[in-house]
Amino acid sequence: MSTLLESVREKAKKARKHIVLAEGEEERIIRAAGMIVAEKIAKVTLIGNRDVISEKCPSVDLSGVNIFDPMKNDLSKYSELLYELRKAKGMQKSDADKLVLNPLYLGVLMVKSKEADGMVAGAINATGDVLRPALQIIKTAPGINTVSSCFIMVLPKGSTYGDNGVLVFGDCAVNPNPTAEQLVDIAVASAASAKSIAGISPKVALLSFSTKGSARHELVDKVAQATELAHKIAPDLELDGELQLDAAIVDKVAKLKAPQSKVAGHANVLIFPDLQAGNIGYKLVQRFANAEAVGPICQGFNQPVNDLSRGCSAEDVVNVVAMTALQALYK
Ligand code: ACO
């Protein structure tokens, strides 16, 4: 495990947050719950049936784990809450009664009711299905209109890129084609994740195929407009754009292409102009540079909800729960 993840787990232990795991009957999730409680990383609730859970993992000590069985509990307060929150969008009470039986909705409603500090799911559900209930119920944090995601990229030891080899990439998993305003939200949220989870002081670059007007295109205009807006909305944030990747992270190139920029050459938070670039970009670095890609970390929600990769291991679940606990601490 990288020192970054070790440090995230240590900080999470101090945060003492309560995280709900909606896919409570899934084996990797049950094993992770046992580890989280044994290591005191967070308090955990599994949504599911106790007998099913115990039969799946008889060797896991679940004595410190809460189990919430939707079939054995009164869900009326959750369906009332869901109906109240969504009736303006056309939801009927009968729809709410059915939806609360879906653990992804139930988990988010527990967070919304402040019974838990965050939710983690996605081991057996697609990203869209995990995020949609949270987008509908938890909504965005004050001042942010866009939920997005980032990866913390940890390059092999000795790398001098970013902050001693640690960089944050956003958005690599949620918004297919962000507007200039959404790019600003992604930049602000990624900077917050850089601080709270990666523990680095953010220097944000809005990436493009152009540096400071070297090319003309409407796609470049969008990034330049986002840069201007970001300076107005977050004047204290160290941020610059539009920058090509080399100008953003290589000092020599920055001196040639963007000599006035305080961020160019030293950026440690890279904001991609769209999801095609972001998703391909993080995977290139992960594969070619042999970097560890920690994430996707969802950001911008008013209370934290995180999506797992369907190929995740129990250890990955523990790490995502620890990051969720940290987000709850810094929200
Ligand atoms: N930020 C804030 N609110 C949002 C966002 C967002 N990014 N996206 C949707 N919403 C809101 C909508 O306004 C709507 O609110 P309302 O119902 O209160 O009016 C609500 O969320 C639901 O919106 P929908 O349009 O029903 O949601 P949609 O079906 O568009 O799903 C989603 C949103 C899941 C984020 C979608 O954009 C998506 O699937 N993105 C790509 C995910 C993906 O496949 N990523 C790649 C794989 S991950 C990886 O490789 C690591």
Residues ≥6 apart with Cβ < 8 Å to 150 = 168, 169, 170, 171, 172, 189, 190, 193, 194, 295, 296, 297, 299
Residue 239 β-bridge partners: 204
Write down the pLDDT at residue 4: 86
Question: Whose C-alpha lies nearest to ligand 1, atom 26?
Answer: 132
Find, among 283, 246, 262, 272, the residue nearest to 161 by Cα.
246
Q: Atom 10 in ligand 1: which residue has the minimum CA distance? A: 135
Neighbours of 49 (CB within 10 A): 17
Q: Cα–Cα distance between 109 and 82 in angstroms, integer?
A: 7
Coil, strand or helix at 208: coil
Q: Which residues contact 313 (CB under 8 A, 6 or more apart)?
A: 28
Q: What whole-number distance in Å separates Cα of residue 34 and Cα of residue 37?
A: 5
pLDDT 10s digits, 85-143: 999 999 999 999 999 999 999 999 999 999 999 999 999 999 999 999 999 999 999 98
SS3 content of the chain, % helix, strand, coil (to 5): 45, 15, 40
Reference 264, options 248, 250, 253, 242; nearest CA is 248
Q: The tokens of 314 are what? A: 């129990």
Q: Is the pLDDT of residue 276 over 90?
A: yes
CA atoms within 13 A on the CB side of 161: 20
Q: What is the pLDDT of residues 304-322, one digit of tens each?
A: 999 998 889 999 999 999 9
Of 86, 91, 95, 174, which is best to mutate to test ligand 1, by the most ligand atoms within 8 angstroms of its C-beta?
Answer: 174
Determine the pLDDT at residue 136: 97
The residue type found at 103 is P
> Rounded to whole angstroms, how far apart are CA atoms 45 and 157?
36
What residues flank ligand 1, with Cβ below 6 Å? 89, 127-128, 131-132, 135-136, 140, 146-147, 173-176, 279, 296
pLDDT, position 323? 94
Token digits of residue 33: 């719950």
pLDDT by residue (tens digit) across 41-99? 999 999 999 999 999 999 999 999 999 999 999 999 999 999 999 999 999 999 999 99
Cβ contact 162:268 at 8 Å: yes
Atom of ligand 1 nearest to the CA of 129: 34
Query: What strands, in cross-sheet order, belong to the sheet with 305-307?
Result: 66-68, 43-47, 18-21, 118-121, 305-307
Task: Return the residue whose CA atom lies nearest to atom 47 of ligand 1.
Answer: 173
Q: Report residue 201: phi and psi, to 5°.
A: -90, 115
Q: Please enumerate in sequence order all residues whose Cβ is within 8 A of that of 213, keeping only pairs 6 or more positions apart, or say none.
A: 220, 224
Residue whose CA is at the smallest distance from ligand 1 atom 11 = 135
The residue among 229, 245, 34 whose CA lies nearest residue 146 is 229
Distance 146 CA to ligand 1 centre (A): 9
Cα of 242 vs centre of ligand 1, distance in Å, is 26
Q: What is the dihedral of CA 125, 143, 172, 313, to 10 degrees?
A: -40
Rg (CA), the chain: 21
CA of 222 to the centre of ligand 1 (A): 21
pLDDT in tens, 233-265: 999 999 999 999 999 999 999 999 999 999 999
Give me the pLDDT at residue 331, please.
74
Ligand 1 centroid to 2 CA: how many Å?
31
Query: 133-180, pLDDT tens digit by residue?
Result: 999 999 999 989 999 999 999 999 999 999 999 999 999 999 999 999
